[in-house]
């Protein structure tokens, strides 16, 4: 028996090695050595041996790509390094501007770029530890995605173990997609089984990867192509992006064979034209090409914007167009309250899908393009995703009633609509009670930077709204555990945890509550300014914005006169809040139903600054933090100051009230001494915070 087991072990190991080698040749090298039937024979032999000798079965065997019970939902996966999206370019002029910015930022002549097709699929990350695949996740919002490890294990193009010498940690990033031929065969099977066919390969790939049952995903012909590296540990990186892609290919990860290294703007334009001419002959869909600065040292120097790298751009192909007729123009209210006119179209096939609705963006765009009901128009899929009306092909009869006019009230809640000066968007003023905005209002209210209610995610909010358990944010504070326990996937413990998280949000700083209200144009920094000035919601809601505007104008005139006389300027009133934001605040806060919700929230939440006497907080005081404090981070100190209405500045000036200094304080401490600014160590700072009293200070 022992001899038989050892012979079986040897054969199993040989079969596993052969199958993974054939996967590599098929998916990475595109050079298969054996037929599909021969591959299937090897796979079946391995399955039979593992069944006969279960002690030889291993999780990383090729036969174990399929398995496991269906999940009830996907768990969240954090991206240690954010998965950012790419900035888009649609014209040669935009590419010229991108190349110029890169050259100027790097102080270089002609730049070398790595050029790749832009796959039309679903972005994912694959984490390998010591060469073994341990986790896979979707991009999600860039910071967090869905853990789809079990589903990605079923994709044969993804190696379960890397080839050769692999680093201790490697996070490869790429795209899951479906080849056109595989998509056609899948739809043939769907049709034969009497099931719904997929619209296009991208939808089929995305839907397949997000199946809760990995056995369904395993039946779908998914592919994977790597295009970059996220996290990497214990390994020195190549000097160029193109070399990094070669390295990934050597590890056994599929990489596009269409990648090239090009020089300068002309090289990028030629590659874009070349790929555009080959687009229809490729086995997969692409919607453009991606250019990345090839030298990694330059990539590091260029850095990132908020949501995209500055060293890369996606040069999109022109959108496909088709003509059809506008049957009607409706108005939709978005999650943020924006009113968007939408054309209802005679169905037309464009860009791989049948389009029946298309955005008209806003009233200005309708006027600019001179679009009326009944017109025959060109429709395109902007970026191959969002259908839009590009222009009029042939005017219709054009009776007076066919001209579009934005309604004066919200079509959902009948609140007045506003259009702020300088904005194209028209917005509903009923943000805290409008049904169209209800889900987003609750999600924003509970978000981490607002009231930070852990566990109140999209699926729970949807159920709360659909069951009328939460009509506005104030209803959250009246939820009972038994009502929450009746929601899907919310047992007794989960329900109580959510109630506890809601209760824990009571007493959050006033600035966070103001931000949580979702007032158009009011971000975190403006909310802090408002909290520091008004100190409680009553004062904010009852503010005379017309009077404040006049005070600001008067102060500006006084400061202009003081400047001419060489005198120091007086502190600005509500600095950074101009007439447009004051108009937005006035209209939002003066809407009677909004006011009712806000005052109920004030009572339920009792924010951290509510009821604090003006002389007992840090309102109007400016702090500078310098050096290393013994037990407190700067972020913590800054949070304490801002929670009490104070302001933290980056440099010491005559307007500074306090400098909080730790070890290695440096020049800021010296300047504070020279200017006579009061200096506090950590102990003195905490004494000040605890008292919430402001001595004269100088």
Closest Cα to residue 593, out of 363, 399, 429? Answer: 429
With a CB cutoff of 8 Å and minimum separation 6, the contacts of 659 are 623, 624, 625, 626, 652, 668, 669, 672, 677, 678, 679, 680
Catalytic residues: 118
Instruction: Please tell me the distance from the alpha carbon of residue 230 to that of residue 125, in angstroms, as a whole number.
Output: 8
Instruction: Please tell me the distance from the alpha carbon of residue 674 to that of residue 663, in angstroms, as a whole number.
Output: 19
Phi-psi region of 350 (alpha: psi -120 to 50; beta: other; left: phi over 0): beta
**Alpha carbon separation from 424 to 340, 362, 430, 441, 594 (Å, rounded):** 11, 7, 19, 22, 24
Cα–chain-centroid distance for residue 470?
A: 26
With a CB cutoff of 8 Å and minimum separation 6, the contacts of 13 are none
Written as one string, the DSSP assignment of 332-368 is EE-TTSEEEEEEEEEEEEETTEEEEEEE---HHHHHH
Instruction: Please tell me the distance from the alpha carbon of residue 160 to that of residue 156, in angstroms, as a whole number.
Output: 9
SS (H, E, C) 630-659: CCCCHHHHHHHHHHCCCEEECCCCCCCCEE
Burial class (CB in 10 A: 0-12, 13-18, 19+), 259: buried
Instruction: Please tell me the distance from the alpha carbon of residue 575 to that of residue 561, in angstroms, as a whole number.
Output: 19
Cα within 13 Å of Cα(104), Cβ side = 7
Contact between 388 and 368 under an 8 Å Cβ cutoff? The reply is no
Cα within 13 Å of Cα(217), Cβ side = 29
CA dihedral 366, 370, 375, 376 (to 10 degrees): -90
Q: In what order do the strands lie in the sheet with 658-661?
A: 647-649, 622-626, 658-661, 678-680
Helix (H, G, I), strand (E, B) or coil at 5: helix
Owner of token pair 């065969």:
185
Contact between 307 and 266 under an 8 Å Cβ cutoff? The reply is no
Closest Cα to residue 145, out of 182, 107, 171, 169? Answer: 171
Tell me which DSSP letter residue 509 carries.
Answer: -
Cα within 13 Å of Cα(195), Cβ side = 7
CA dihedral 153, 157, 162, 163 (to 10 degrees): 150
Token pair of 259 as six digits: 């990648």
């Amino acid at each position: 028996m022992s001899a038989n087991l050892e012979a079986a072990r040897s054969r199993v190991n040989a079969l596993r090695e052969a199958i993974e080698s054939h996967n590599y040749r098929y998916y990475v090298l595109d050079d298969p050595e054996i037929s599909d039937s021969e591959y299937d024979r090897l796979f079946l032999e391995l399955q039979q041996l593992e069944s006969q000798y279960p002690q030889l079965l291993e999780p990383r065997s090729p036969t174990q790509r399929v398995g496991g019970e269906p999940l009830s939902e996907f768990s969240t996966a954090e991206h240690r390094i954010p998965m950012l999206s790419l900035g888009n370019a649609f014209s040669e002029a935009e590419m010229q501007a991108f190349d110029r910015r890169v050259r100027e930022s790097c102080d270089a002549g002609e730049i070398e770029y790595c050029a790749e097709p832009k796959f039309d699929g679903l972005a994912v990350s694959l984490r390998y530890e010591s060469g073994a695949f341990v986790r896979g996740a979707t991009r999600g919002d860039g910071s967090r995605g869905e853990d789809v490890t079990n589903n990605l294990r079923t994709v044969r193009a993804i190696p379960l173990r890397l080839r050769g010498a692999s680093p201790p940690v490697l996070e490869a990033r790429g795209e899951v997609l479906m080849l056109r031929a595989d998509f056609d065969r899948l739809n043939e099977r769907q049709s034969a089984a009497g099931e719904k066919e997929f619209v296009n390969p991208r939808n089929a790939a995305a839907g397949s990867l997000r199946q809760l049952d990995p056995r369904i995903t395993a039946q779908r012909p998914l592919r994977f192509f790597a295009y970059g590296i996220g996290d990497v540990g214990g390994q020195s990186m190549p000097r160029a992006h193109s070399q990094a892609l070669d390295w990934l290919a050597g590890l056994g990860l599929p990489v596009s064979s269409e990648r090239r290294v090009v020089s300068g703007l002309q090289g990028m334009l030629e590659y874009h034209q070349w790929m555009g001419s080959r687009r229809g002959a490729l086995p997969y869909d692409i919607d453009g090409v991606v250019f990345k600065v090839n030298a990694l040292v330059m990539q590091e120097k260029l850095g990132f914007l908020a949501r995209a790298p500055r060293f890369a751009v996606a040069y999109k192909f022109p959108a496909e167009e088709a003509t059809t007729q506008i049957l009607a123009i409706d108005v939709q209210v978005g999650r943020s309250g924006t009113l968007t006119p939408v054309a209802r179209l005679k169905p037309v096939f464009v860009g791989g899908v049948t389009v029946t609705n298309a955005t008209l963006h806003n009233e200005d765009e309708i006027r600019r393009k001179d679009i009326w009901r009944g017109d025959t128009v060109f429709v395109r899929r902007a970026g191959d995703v969002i259908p839009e009306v590009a222009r009029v092909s042939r005017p219709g009869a054009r009776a007076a009633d066919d001209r579009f006019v934005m309604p004066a009230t919200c079509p959902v809640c009948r609140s007045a609509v506003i259009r702020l000066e300088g904005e194209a968007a028209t917005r509903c003023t009923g943000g805290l009670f409008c049904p169209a905005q209800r889900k987003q209002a609750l999600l924003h209210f509970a978000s981490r930077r607002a009231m930070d209610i852990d566990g109140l995610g999209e699926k729970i909010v949807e159920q709360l709204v659909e069951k009328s358990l939460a009509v506005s944010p104030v209803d959250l504070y009246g939820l009972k555990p038994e009502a929450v326990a009746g929601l899907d996937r919310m047992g007794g413990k989960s329900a109580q945890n959510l109630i506890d998280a809601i209760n824990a949000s009571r007493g959050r700083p006033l600035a966070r509550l103001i931000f949580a209200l979702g007032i158009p144009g009011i971000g975190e920094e403006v909310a802090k300014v408002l909290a520091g000035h008004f100190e409680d919601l009553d004062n904010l809601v009852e503010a005379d914005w017309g009077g404040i505007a006049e005070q600001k104008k008067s102060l500006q005139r006084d400061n202009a006169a003081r400047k001419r006389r060489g005198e120091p300027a007086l502190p600005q009133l509500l600095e950074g809040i101009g007439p447009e934001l004051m108009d937005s605040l006035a209209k939002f806060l003066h809407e009677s139903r909004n006011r009712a919700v806000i005052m109920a929230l004030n009572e339920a939440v009792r924010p951290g600054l509510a009821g604090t006497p003006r002389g007992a907080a840090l309102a109007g005081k400016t702090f500078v933090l310098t050096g290393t404090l013994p037990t407190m981070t700067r972020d913590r100190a800054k949070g304490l100051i801002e929670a009490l209405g104070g302001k933290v500045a980056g440099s010491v000036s005559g307007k500074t009230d306090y400098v909080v200094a730790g070890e290695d304080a440096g020049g800021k401490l010296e300047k504070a001494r020279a200017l006579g600014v009061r200096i506090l160590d950590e102990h003195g700072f905490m004494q000040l915070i605890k008292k919430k009293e402001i001595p004269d200070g100088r």
